[in-house]
Amino acid sequence: MNNRDEQLLQIKNELLELKDGELADLRRKTKMLPVIGEGSHEAKIMFVGEAPGKNEAATGRPFCGASGKVLTAMVEHVGMKREDVYVTNIVKDRPPDNRDPLPQEIALYAPFLDRQIDIIQPKVIATLGRFSMAYIMNKFGLAAELKSISQIHGKVFKVKVSGGLGDLTIITLYHPAVALYNGSMRQQLFTDFEIIKKIVL
């Protein structure tokens, strides 16, 4: 086990033992699992969603339900394999009834995401949906560029980050679930995803 594996395992263990917050309490009561992340620990690209759904909390795997199939199809569409990227969420426990994560929940779980980014050191972070878009853009000093996701989906932002990350590219994407609720959005998602191909491959 290399150093990245050990550090990510430490995050997993901390989340399993997490006592703070209603979502962790609910997870234990319903015998669900935290959803830490999945994929290559050497990944060049990290996909960040907002929070796990029912299937994800049952299995401990991110994006394993219907929206996960859309995500996998889009990753493969641009010539990558799902196992070569890293997929995670800001919030690691499922909000009840798949409601939007609350600000205090994002604040509680975001430090775990920050550590995942520092450990994996991706060259590209692709945000999936408005919550991860807002968090990542604010984190990396892009608050002035932040608009609604309908205005800046498919946009590319480049930032210089101190430490191991160096030059980082942020791409803002719709959440794959939009393709399930609105079939006409599917083509837009695939078009936006093609930007990744130009940057990563």
Residue ranges of domains in the chain, CATH in brackets: 3-200 (3.40.470.10)
Residue 198: its pLDDT value, please? 84
Instruction: Centre a 10 Å sphere on the Cβ of residue 154 and count the other Cβ atoms it contains.
Output: 17
Residue 158: which H helix or E strand, with range? Answer: strand 155-161
Query: What pLDDT, on a 0 to 100 scale, did the predictor assign at position 200?
Result: 72
Q: Helix, strand, or coil here: 2?
A: coil
CA distance linking residue 115 with residue 117, whole number of Å: 5
Splitting the chain (201 residues) into consecutive groups of 10 residues, what average pLDDT does each group show?
Answer: 90 94 94 96 96 95 94 92 97 94 97 96 96 97 95 95 82 93 87 87 60
In this prediction, residue 201 carries a pLDDT of 60
**pLDDT of 199:** 83
pLDDT, position 42 = 95
Residue 44 has a pLDDT of 94
CA distance 116 to 65: 23
pTM, two decimals, is 0.95
Coil/strand/helix, residue 161? strand
pLDDT of residue 164: 66
Residue identified by tokens 């339900």 is: 65
